[in-house]
Structure 1
Amino acid sequence: MSVLIGETAPDFQAETTKGPISFHDWIGDSWAFFFSHPADFTPVCTTEMGRTAQLADRFAALDTKPIGLSTDTVEEHLKWIGDINDTQSTNVGFPIIADPDLRVAKLYGMIHPAESETAAVRTVFIIDPKKKVRLTMTYPMSVGRNFDEILRAITALQTSDGKRLSMPADWQPGKDAIIPPSISNADAKSLYPQGWNELRPYLRLTKTQ
């Protein structure tokens, strides 16, 4: 199954390192960073889990809850967390879903048979408080994720929602953003009293702060 942008994220029940969850209830009114990894006690995955834990305050500032998944068991996850904390100098405080029967991984299209029939590739789903999938990323097993980009993308989505703006290539927080063509100049005057720089009738840049 493929989970597409704009769709409601499939709900599920699962065991995690923090106890059983119902996914939609766990998300609550927050955003979610839901990510899979191939296997416990593997090197790239260890660095990714550690980096997620190290960035706990950054995710919290964006009202975003991280949650991991692999096709290992809760018992294996709990043993592995000790290694993550030790080697990455951190403290894993977010839940990791156990999915030994591949049920959730298949539900979210995390199993790519050309890579592995039993291990999940490195998939990312950014899910908003309405439980809508807003962004997806997929990395191969040999390449770790770019967490600067993940945080940037969440910030961009939240800024876009709050200010009715679109984000240009390489947008960073505080930089100018784009007034969408769907907003007329008349409406833009009230929405963006700070004004805008009109490079073309379809390309209007305005400040985000």
Structure 2
Amino acid sequence: MAETEVKVSLPLLNEPAPDFEAQTTQGPLKLSDYRGQYVVLFSHPSDFTPVCTTEFGSFATAASEFEKRNVQLIGLSVDSVPSHLAWIRDIEKIFDTKVKFPVIADLDTKVSRAYGMLHPGYSATATVRSVFIIDDKGILRAMIYYPASAGRSIPEILRVVDSLQTTDASGHTTPADWKPGDPVIVPPSLNANSIEGEEESTAKGLDYKAWYLRYKK
């Protein structure tokens, strides 16, 4: 008998993030209740595992930085609420911090499947290590997947949030390795008959590299 193929459905960038209701360590949660603020939804393979423990410790330690950016952290795995709560007690003891954000107990894998967190080649039951950044209008703006062996960089997730919020506020994009305070990229400007060149760009205070690459402080 042929093996049944398991299809993974992935959400799409710049489209509404799949809404859901779920049980968490802080009670029932509905994603759409967080409209008006950014959400960082992140999954981990399993409670009481070493790499995931370090990640949760780092997320908890950086929680105030996410709060400054009006970001709600939400964790997820297919473990139960009692398992999450017992593991959180360990994390708080190891890292001397409080885990203030909710952690979804996705026992029926409903949320995991909606967000493509279950990859058959990895595991039929454990979620992969993934991050979904959802903006204040409920639009999915970024997705990041990691191998089970590599812990996430929390500063990088904050950097992506900063980049998205900078683009929201200014309309400018950000270059490689950008961080807050660095120059941003100004979109190419086309006049009625010609591309805006170096002289015009410089007069506007832009750092001209090419007609398609101009920086602004």
Task: With the length of structure 1 as denominator, give the TM-score of the two structures.
Answer: 0.92
CA-CA distance at 1:88 after TM superposition: 1.6
CA-CA distance at 1:16 after TM superposition: 0.3
- Asked if 1:56 corresponds to 2:63, the answer is yes
> In the alignment, what sits opposite 2:26?
18
Deviation digits for residues 93-139 of structure 1 (CA, Å, limit 9, x no counterpart): 00000011111101100001111100000110000011000010000
- Asked if 1:9 corresponds to 2:17, the answer is yes
2:77 aligns with one of 58, 66, 70: 70
* Aligned positions of 1:36-185 closer than 5 A: 36-181=43-188
Partners of 1:66 and 1:31 in 2: CA distance: 9
> In the alignment, what sits opposite 2:4?
none
RMSD (Å), alpha carbons: 1.6
Specify the SS of the correspondent of 1:15: strand
Specify the SS of the correspondent of 1:82: helix
Q: Kindly tell me the number of residue pairs found equivalent between the two proteins.
A: 200
Partners of 2:147 and 2:39 in 1: CA distance: 21
Structure exhibiting the larger radius of gyration computed from Cα positions: 2
Q: Structure 2 unaligned runs (5+)?
A: 1-8, 197-202
CA-CA distance at 1:197 after TM superposition: 1.2
Q: Tell me if the contact between 1:194 and 1:206 (Cα under 8 Å) persists in the aligned partners.
A: no
Partners of 1:46 and 1:153 in 2: CA distance: 22
CA-CA distance at 1:195 after TM superposition: 2.4
- Asked if 1:200 corresponds to 2:210, the answer is yes
Specify the SS of the correspondent of 1:109: coil
Q: In the superposition, relative to structure 1, how do residues 68 and 194 fare at CA in structure 2: closer, same or farther (>3 Å)?
A: farther
Deviation digits for residues 38-89 of structure 1 (CA, Å, limit 9, x no counterpart): 0111111111111111001100111111000000011111111100101122
> In the alignment, what sits opposite 1:190?
none
What amino acid is aligned across from residue 196 of structure 1 in structure 2?
L
What amino acid is aligned across from residue 66 of structure 2 in structure 1?
F
Q: Structure 1 unaligned runs (5+)?
A: 187-192
Partners of 1:122 and 1:50 in 2: CA distance: 15
Partners of 2:94 and 2:190 in 1: CA distance: 50
Task: With the length of structure 2 as denominator, give the TM-score of the two structures.
Answer: 0.88
Specify the SS of the correspondent of 1:20: strand
CA-CA distance at 1:194 after TM superposition: 6.8
Q: In the superposition, relative to structure 1, how do residues 106 and 177 fare at CA in structure 2: closer, same or farther (>3 Å)?
A: same
CA-CA distance at 1:182 after TM superposition: 5.8
CA-CA distance at 1:172 after TM superposition: 1.1
Partners of 1:110 and 1:146 in 2: CA distance: 19
Partners of 1:182 and 1:167 in 2: CA distance: 17
